[in-house]
Structure 1
Amino acid sequence: MINKKKFTERIFDPNQLSGLDEDHYIQLPVDFIHDLSKAASLQDLLDKIAFWISHVFDADRVSITLQENEEYLKLYSISGNQAIPIDFKIPIKQTFVGRTFATAKLIICDDLSQSDELDCQMLTQHGMGTCMDAPMIHNDICIGTLNVADERKYYYSEQQAILLQCLANWLAMNIKLHLQFQEMEVLASTDELTGAFNRRVFIQESNQTMLQFFKSNIPFSIGILDIDHFKTLNDCYGHKAGDYVLKLMSEHIQKVLRANDFLARIGGEEFAIILPACLSTEAVQVFKRILATIEMMQIHYDDNIICFTVSIGVAEVKKHDADIEGVFKRADKALYRAKKLGRNQIYLAE
C-alpha cells in the first residue's frame, strides 16, 4: 500500500528501472506486435501504440508526445480522455510532461490535484486522478514521452513503472526506425540540390497520371523547362552560382504551381512539370506565369546580380497516346522549337 501522506510524486531513473531480475518478463498481446508491424506511417504507428497501451494498462487516457522544437512538445496521439486536445502545444517548461522530457526521468504523479503544473491541472479538470509519464529514450537521447493516466489517485505501482519505461524505450526504437525510413524515402525521391522530385519519381508520377487518364479520361499536360544559356551562366559566374540559381528557381516555380501540380528536376538545368486535370490552354497560362516570374528574378550572388530566362515546351495528352512517352516526346520537341525560335518563350506542341 502507498502511504498517501508521504507520496504525491515519485521519480525514477530509467537506468535503475531497467535493472530487472533475470526472471522478470514483459507480456504483451500478440495483436499489439502484429499491428505495429503493419503501421504505414509514423502517425499510424503512434495511433496504434496509444490504442494498445490503453489496453495494456487499462488506462483512462494515453498520450504520446514528440519534441517539436526547443520550447514545445507536440501531441501526436491520444487514446481515451481528451482533457488535453491534440492541437495543444505542450510547453517543456512548467508542465509535467515537459519535465519528464527535460530530465529524462519517469515520473508518477499520485495525486494530480496536488500539482500546479499546467497539464496536470488540465487533467484534473477533466476527471483524471493520477498519471505516469515515461521518457522515450533512444541512444541516450529523449525524443518524447509516453503518458498513461487514470481516474483513480495513487494507482500506479513501481512494477507498472518498469513496464511503461521498457515499452517507452522499445517504442522509441520503432519511432526512430520509421523516421529513418521516411528520411531515406525523401533522399531517394528528391533532388538533393533543389529539393524538387528527381527523375525516377517523375517517371513514376507521369506513368501514374497516364494510368489515371486511361481509367477516367482526365486530361493533363506536361511542360519541359530549360534554362537559357545555362553553360554561359556557369562559365561567367561559376558552378556554385549555377547551383544557387537552380535552387532559387525551383523555389519560385513551386510558389506558382497549384497544390496538385508536380515539379521534378530531370537532369542538369532541365525540369519537368505535370499539370493534372489541365488542358493545354490552361497549362499555357500557368507556364506564362512561371516564365514571367523567372524573367523578373534578380539573384544576388557575391557582388553580382544574375538574371536569366527559360524556355518551355508544353504537350497535352491525346486519345491516341499509348503511353506517357509520346506526351513527353512532344513536350521535348516543343522545348527544342522554343529554343530555336529565340528562347524565353513557350511553345505548345500540336
Structure 2
Amino acid sequence: MVPTEHELHGFFRSYSRKLAEDYAATRPRVLEDPGTAGDQGEESWASLLRDWLPEGYSVVTKGRILGASGDASPQVDVIVLKPNYPKFLKGHKYYFLEGVAAAFECKLTLKPGHLEKVMKNAKLIAGLQPKPSGSPQKEIMAPLVYGVLAHSYSWSADKDSVVTRITEKIHELGQQAIEPRELPELVCIADLAGWRLAHCSIARYTVGDWVEPDPSIRDAAIELIKKEYAGFPQKNHRTSSYVQLLIEKPHSEYTTQYYPEHINSNTPTESWERFTPIGAFIAALYDKLAYRDPGLLNISEYFKAVHVPASSGGVNQAKGKLQWPRSVISDATWATSWDKGPEWQEVFF
C-alpha cells in the first residue's frame, strides 16, 4: 500500500513554492520591462520541464514549429524536442514538427485573451501536418502536446468561481474547433488548477440493475438513447443484469484538475492536501507523451500508483461534451475492430 505522503508530493510542493517565488519576484517588473519579465517566466517553466522530463528530451525557448510543407507556426514560448531530434538542428529557431514532442505558451498572469490565442495557435499547429489515418489515436489526437502554462491569473473572484469561469471559457472556445486534433491538450495555472483534454472514440451507455432493477425500464432507457443518436451506428450488449449501448459517436472533454481545499494546507494527509497543479500537470504530460512514446508508460503508471492527485483525471465542470461528427474518424478506421489494440482505445487521456 502506498503511504499517504510520498516523496513525489513533497517534490511537487517544493516546485510550486519555487514558481510562486519567481512570480513574486518578477511581477513588479512587468510594467517596467514586460519583455524581460516574460522571458523570465518562460525560463521558470523551461527549467521545470528540463528537471522533470527524461534524459534525451531537450527544452528550448522561443521558436517556431515547421511543417513538412514549409509552413510554420507562430512563435511558441517553450518547445520540447524528442530524443531523436538532430543535434545540429537544435541551434536553429525553426523546429521540425515531427521532432517536437510538446509546446507551450507561458504567461506570468493568464488572461481571457490568452486562451483565445492558444485555441487559434492549436489549430494552426494541427494544420502543419496532413491528417493521418489508420486508427482513432492518429486521427483524433493532435500531432504534439500543446497548451498554456501560467504562474497566476487575472480573474478577480474567489478561487472556486475563477475555476468555474475558466472551465466554461475553455469549453466555449473548444466548441469553435472543427476537429478534436485542433484543440490544446493542457492548461496549468500554478497557483490555482489545471485542465486536461480527453478524447473518446465511442460513446458507451450502461443501464444496470443496480440503477434500475426493472428490465423493461432499462430497455426503455436504452431505446431513448438509441433514438437520440439514430444517425450513428450502434451496438447493443445485454446481460441479465445490465444493458449496454455503444455508439460510434466521438467526443472530447476538458476535465479540471482541482481540489478546492488544497490552498494553504500544511498537513498533507488527505488526497486534496497532497494536490498541486504542478504535480497534476507533470503527471498529465507524461500520460500524453506516452501515447507518442510508449517508453514513458512506466513512469506515467508510477505517478498513478503513488496517487499524484488528479493525475489520471479531474473534476468535470464543463457543461456538456465537445461533440464531433462521426467523420472525424475515417470510414476505413471505423471498419476495423473496436478492440484491435491500444490505438483503438475508447478513451485517450
**Larger relative contact order, structure 1 or 2 (CA cutoff 8 Å, min sep 6):** 2
Q: Structures share a fold, TM > 0.5? A: no
